[in-house]
Amino acid sequence: MAHIARVYDYWLGGKDNFAADRLAGDAALEAYPYIAAGVRANRAFLSRVVRYLAGEAGIRQFLDIGTGIPTGNNTHEVAQAVAPGSRIAYVDNDPVVLAHARALLTSGPEGVTAYIDADFRDVDEILEAASQTLDFSQPVAIMLIAILHLIDNEANPHAVVKKLIAAVPPGSYLAISHLSSDIAPAARAEAHARLRELMYEKQTLRSREEVASFFTGLDMVEPGLVRIPEWRPDNQADAKSPSALWGGVARKR
C-alpha cells in the first residue's frame, strides 16, 4: 500500500518509492495536477522558514517532526548554511525514512543532527530522546511541516502540540504547514478521495481557523497564517504559485 513519505518523495521527483506509491501519486495528480506545485511550494516554505528562524530569529535548535525522506534543502542544511552551530533533532515514524536517515546525519562539524524513530503522538518519548541533542532550557523551533493533516482528531493533535510548546522555553518558535479544507475544496475533492482509498495514512484537512488554533497563546510572526507561497516569498511570482496549504510561524512569549 502507498505511504505518504514515499508518495511525497515521488511527487518531488525522488527515487525512494514503490509502484503502489507511484500509482496513488499519479491517481491524485490526474485529479488535481496542482499537487506537484503544492509540494514544491511546501519545500520552499520549509526553506524560507528555517532561513528566517536561523537568521532573523537567532534560533540554533530545531525539533523537526515528520521529517520525510531526505531530499534537497533539509532542515539542517538550510539552518547550518546560516548558523553552522545549529543542532537538529529529526523525528519520523516511517521505516523508509529511518532507512534513509544517514543522509540526515551529515551535520557540519560545528553543529549536530540526530534522528529519532518515534510517533508524533508519543511526545514524552520524543522529548526524552531529543534532550540528548537539544538543550530544552534554550529556545527551540518546533517544525511541524506537512504532518498535522496526517493526524486525525481522535489522536487530539491540538493537545500534542500544546504539550510540545509547554516543553520549550519563552523565545521558542512553532512552524506549521497544513493541508487546508477551505482552499479550492471542490477542485481537490476527487484527489483526496483517491488518496484516502490508495494511501495508508488518511488525511484530515482543516480550515484556516482550525489550523490557527494550533498557535493559540503564541505571537504570530508577520504575515501570520497564510497560503504557504505568501509567507515571506522570495519574489512575487513565487507568491502566486498554487498551493492548498496554510502555513505560519509563531513565537512563544
Ligand X SMILES: C[S@@+](CC[C@H](N)C(=O)[O-])C[C@H]1O[C@@H](n2cnc3c(N)ncnc32)[C@H](O)[C@@H]1O
Residues binding ligand X (CB under 6 A): 4-5, 8, 42-43, 46, 66-68, 92-94, 97, 119-121, 145-147, 150-151, 201
Cβ proximity to ligand X: between 115 and 215 the closer is 115
Instruction: In angstroms, give the least distance from the CB of 155 to ligand X.
Output: 8
Instruction: In angstroms, give the least distance from the CB of 25 to ligand X.
Output: 12
Of all residues in the shown chain, the one whose CB is closest to ligand X is 68
DSSP for the chain, please give it: -B-HHHHHHHHTT-S---HHHHHHHHHHHHH-TTHHHHHHHHHHHHHHHHHHHHTTT---EEEEES--S--SS-HHHHHHHH-TT-EEEEEE--HHHHHTGGGG----TTSEEEEEE--TT-HHHHHHHHTTTS-TTS--EEEEES-GGGS-GGG-HHHHHHHHHHTS-TT-EEEEEEEBSSSSHHHHHHHHHHHHHHBSSPP--B-HHHHHGGGTTSEEPTT-SEEGGGSS-SSHHHHTS---EEEEEEE--
Cβ proximity to ligand X: between 99 and 110 the closer is 99
Instruction: In angstroms, give the least distance from the CB of 144 to ligand X.
Output: 8
Instruction: In angstroms, give the least distance from the CB of 31 to ligand X.
Output: 18
Cβ proximity to ligand X: between 60 and 178 the closer is 178
Cβ proximity to ligand X: between 162 and 171 the closer is 162
Instruction: In angstroms, give the least distance from the CB of 170 to ligand X.
Output: 25
Cβ proximity to ligand X: between 31 and 171 the closer is 31
Cβ contact 100:85 at 8 Å: no
Cβ proximity to ligand X: between 153 and 219 the closer is 153
Total residue length of the chain? 253
Cβ proximity to ligand X: between 46 and 212 the closer is 46
Instruction: In angstroms, give the least distance from the CB of 66 to ligand X.
Output: 3
Instruction: In angstroms, give the least distance from the CB of 112 to ligand X.
Output: 19
The residues with which 176 forms a beta bridge, in sequence order, are 144, 248
What phi and psi, each to the nearest 5 degrees, are found at residue 14? -80, 175
Residue linked to cell 508524533: 120
